[in-house]
């Protein structure tokens, strides 16, 4: 009985740790890609709203819903075409049913995968935003009946921590080979991830070549988005590599003695040993023997001519480089370098805004301030409850009109309070 139990354990472990299962690094990489795309889109939306609040106000206020619709379209196309999400297909992964007899996804698994891929990040983002707003409102003393809100603020961090611990347990158990699923969301969908084999890659290439004209719009959209993302990723990676190498080279160049010795004056080269009569005799012999030259002499003459051309080009390059280095030496040794990189003049201060409000009163309620709070974008100080309610309604400074949010608030604690 013990031998059969051990055999079953080895068999199960061999199934879990087979070559078709992706490594934990591939799994975490595709998860990071999925979350990173959402954060990048959120950050881009905030930048656009800060630069032009009137044009991008609708996009900023409804970012979660707009991104949800976009995410549904992208994930639906990739699940339909490749049985994988966008990030999973980017790392050559696909979803299969846990049943070994069925390698595809049935209707229930397809719908559950689509819902969990799109709805779960949306709900999590909404709960995080709600928790941040209620956490800020805890300092307000005017509101009443906050029992449900206080309960949510106290319990939500514990629920979020519990979910993170469950995800960590699945990842660790998947790493050691004791679990088929690396995420509880896959367990709910009853699917798991595997690597694309040669047949899958061949079928994808055949579909892209044979069914190019009959490809539906779902596959077209998925193929174009995947190709564009791969090109952007390769270009960004190449740019990062070249930029990192260039920065390290500049750091090494300026931190060593090469920078000082490189601008030293070059020594004057010695004159050529050959005279003009000797060169004339060589040219005369080459002309006389042109007709009687065999193939070896032809080859030697051509190689000599090519070598001379290379030598002339190299000499010209050295001349230009020496001139450029001497110019840099002159540039850095004179006052031109100091004047060219001198700091720009300090701009004049902005126009003073006269609000005709005493220094100890709030510009919104015109009463003595309670819970002094400064707005980073403008520097004005308000009551905490007044400025929070105004920003949640209007999203700009009540005095200057600059775009602002509750994230730009700073609590002040004067000595008299």
Higher-pLDDT residue of 108 and 329 is: 108
The model's pLDDT over 299-316, given as tens digits with 9 standing for 90+, comes to: 667 777 777 777 777 777
Contact present, 83 and 104 (Cβ < 8 Å)? yes
Higher-pLDDT residue of 68 and 263 is: 68
Residue 153, pLDDT above cutoff 70: yes
Higher-pLDDT residue of 197 and 351 is: 197
Residue whose token pair is 């009137």? 54
Higher-pLDDT residue of 293 and 58 is: 58
Residue 81, pLDDT above cutoff 60: yes
Helix ranges (DSSP H) in 334-417: 336-340, 384-394
Contact present, 380 and 374 (Cβ < 8 Å)? yes
Q: Cα(333)–Cα(407) distance, rounded to whole angstroms?
A: 48
- Please compute the mean of the pLDDT values over residues 144-149 and round it to a whole number: 66
- Please compute the mean of the pLDDT values over residues 253-264 and round it to a whole number: 54
DSSP state of 407: G
389 burial class (0-12, 13-18, 19+ CB within 10 angstroms)? middle
How many C-beta neighbours within 10 Å does residue 399 have?
A: 16
**CATH code for the part of the protein at 355-417:** 3.30.40.10
Residue 233, pLDDT above cutoff 60: no
pLDDT the model gives residue 169 = 92
Residue 284, pLDDT above cutoff 60: no
pLDDT the model gives residue 8 = 46
DSSP 214-249: T--HHHHHHHHHHHHHHHHHHHHHHHHHHHHHHHHH
Residue 7, pLDDT above cutoff 50: no
Tell me which of 156-165, 265-274, 331-340 is least confident: 331-340
pLDDT the model gives residue 124 = 92
The SS3 call for residue 193 is strand
Q: Cα(149)–Cα(387) distance, rounded to whole angstroms?
A: 20
Walk across the sheet containing 409-411 and list its strands.
381-383, 372-375, 409-411
Q: Which residues contact 226 (CB under 8 A, 6 or more apart)?
A: 78, 86, 89, 90
Helix (H) or strand (E) holding 119: helix 107-137
Q: Kindly list the domain boundaries of the chain, sorted by start residue.
A: 13-215, 355-417
Sign of CA dihedral 49, 51, 56, 59: negative
pLDDT the model gives residue 222 = 62
pLDDT the model gives residue 307 = 73
Residue 402, pLDDT above cutoff 60: yes
Sign of CA dihedral 69, 71, 73, 75: negative
What angle (nearest 5°) sits at the alpha carbon of residue 113, between those of residues 108 and 118?
135
- Please compute the mean of the pLDDT values over residues 34-52 and round it to a whole number: 87
pLDDT the model gives residue 1 = 40
pLDDT the model gives residue 358 = 84
Residue 347, pLDDT above cutoff 50: yes
* Highest mean pLDDT of the ranges 43-52, 97-106, 112-121, 286-295: 112-121
Residue 279, pLDDT above cutoff 70: no
- Please compute the mean of the pLDDT values over residues 97-117 and round it to a whole number: 79
pLDDT the model gives residue 310 = 73
How many C-beta neighbours within 10 Å does residue 333 have?
A: 10
pLDDT the model gives residue 325 = 74
Q: Cα(106)–Cα(97) distance, rounded to whole angstroms?
A: 8
pLDDT the model gives residue 12 = 43
187 burial class (0-12, 13-18, 19+ CB within 10 angstroms)? middle
């Amino acid at each position: 009985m013990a031998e059969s139990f051990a055999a079953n354990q080895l068999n199960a472990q061999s199934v879990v740790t087979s070559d078709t299962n992706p490594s934990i690094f591939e799994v975490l990489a595709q998860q990071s890609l999925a979350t990173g795309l959402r954060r990048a889109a959120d950050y881009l939306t905030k930048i656009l709203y800060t630069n032009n609040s009137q044009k991008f106000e609708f996009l900023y206020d409804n970012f979660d819903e707009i991104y949800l619709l976009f995410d549904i379209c992208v994930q639906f196309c990739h699940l339909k075409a490749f049985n994988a999400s966008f990030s999973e297909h980017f790392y050559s992964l696909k979803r299969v049913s846990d049943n070994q007899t069925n390698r595809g996804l049935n209707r229930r698994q397809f719908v559950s995968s689509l819902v969990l891929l799109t709805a779960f990040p949306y709900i999590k983002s909404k709960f995080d935003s709600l928790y941040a707003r209620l956490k800020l409102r805890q300092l307000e003393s005017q509101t009443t009946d906050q029992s449900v809100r206080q309960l949510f603020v106290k319990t939500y961090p514990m629920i979020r921590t519990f979910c993170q611990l469950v995800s960590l347990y699945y990842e660790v158990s998947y790493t050691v080979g004791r679990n088929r699923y690396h995420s509880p969301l896959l367990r709910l969908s009853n699917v798991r991830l595997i690597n694309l084999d040669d047949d899958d890659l061949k079928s994808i290439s055949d579909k892209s070549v044979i069914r190019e004209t009959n490809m539906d719009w779902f596959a077209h959209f998925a193929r174009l988005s995947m190709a564009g993302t791969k090109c952007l990723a390769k270009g960004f990676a190449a740019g990062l590599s070249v930029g990192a190498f260039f920065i390290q080279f500049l750091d090494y160049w300026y931190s060593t003695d090469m920078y000082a010795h490189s601008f030293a004056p070059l020594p004057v080269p010695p004159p050529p040993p050959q005279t003009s009569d000797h060169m004339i005799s060589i040219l005369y012999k080459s002309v006389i023997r042109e007709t009687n030259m065999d193939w070896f002499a032809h080859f030697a003459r051509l190689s000599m001519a090519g070598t001379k051309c290379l030598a002339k080009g190299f000499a010209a390059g050295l001349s230009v480089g020496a001139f450029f280095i001497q110019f840099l030496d002159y540039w850095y040794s004179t006052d031109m370098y100091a004047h060219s990189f001198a700091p720009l003049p300090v701009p004049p201060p902005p126009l003073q805004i006269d609000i005709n409000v005493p220094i100890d009163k709030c510009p919104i309620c015109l009463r003595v301030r309670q819970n002094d709070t400064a707005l980073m974008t403008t520097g004005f100080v308000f009551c905490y409850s007044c400025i929070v309610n105004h920003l949640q309604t209007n999203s700009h400074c009540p005095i200057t009109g600059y775009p602002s949010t509750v994230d730009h608030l700073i609590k002040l604690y004067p000595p008299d309070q």
